[in-house]
Amino acid sequence: MPAKWARIWNERLPDVPLTLLQVAAAETPEVLRTGRADAGLVRLPVDRTVFSAIPLYTETTVVVVPKDHVATAADEVTLADLADEVVFHPLDDVLGWEQPPGEPGFERPATTQDAVELVAAGVGLLYVPQSLARLFHRKDLTYRPVTDAPRSSIALSWPEEATTDLVEALIGIVRGRTVNSTRGRRPQAPADQPKGERRESTGKAAGQTGQTGRSGQTGKAARQTGGRASGRSGGQAQRGRSASAKSTGRRGGGRPRRRS
């Protein structure tokens, strides 16, 4: 999805480059607060006192297992099917378990990537959103959907006080608005901007690790040429005044003289 949105962005706003970047989930709020990014694909929940958020989709939770694990015999599994297995619960877990399933591992890995390495070593299993399983894919591992596990939802989020025209444009794209939609149109320069003057706008966005694979976005400064609309408006106004003057002249000059 992020790749699709970036392609649509580049088609609609070719003067505002959008580059996808990967940001660790724990770092995303700080990246948005400090302005290093204007918007991000984040995992819910977010601090609604600071950020606005538009829910986009909910990911399937999977269990990561070695390719020769018995769980690979089924198309999908339940938590009960793996209740006796050792399950790693990394410190950066994003599923928010009330009670982690399975037998606890001998330690809590610092990161999801570390937990994947332990699964590859054959000492336990790991539950993650499907995008993280894809992000940290290894040839010796595979995964299966888990039907009754908690799920993680993804949202487009940005600082509430920084809702710019470019953020509105990104919202329109991720919501599927067409280019002719009122909110989906390309941001325009102010009508009273002097002709030839250039205005610089910056669009940036960040994505959390794993939600989108190589996700996140950083936009670079772009120039939007203004003044053309202003010039046309000025010309129309001038023509309007000229027409009015001519009309007044006809009324004054064409009045018949009264006979004495």
Structure tokens at 201: 């706008």
pLDDT over threshold 90, residue 236: no
The β-bridge partners of 208 are 23
Domains within the chain, CATH numbers bracketed:
2-58+153-189+198-228 (3.40.190.10), 61-145 (3.40.190.10)
Q: Which of 30-44, 182-196, 205-219 comes out lowest in average pLDDT?
A: 205-219
Q: Is 201 helix (H, G, I), strand (E, B) or coil?
A: strand
The model's pLDDT over 116-173, given as tens digits with 9 standing for 90+, comes to: 999 999 999 999 999 999 999 999 999 999 999 999 999 999 999 988 999 999 999 9
pLDDT over threshold 70, residue 190: no
Query: Residue 196, by phi and psi: left (phi above 0), alpha (psi -120 to 50) or beta?
Result: left
pTM above 0.85, yes or no: no
Residue with tokens 């990394």: 90
The β-bridge partners of 40 are 157, 206
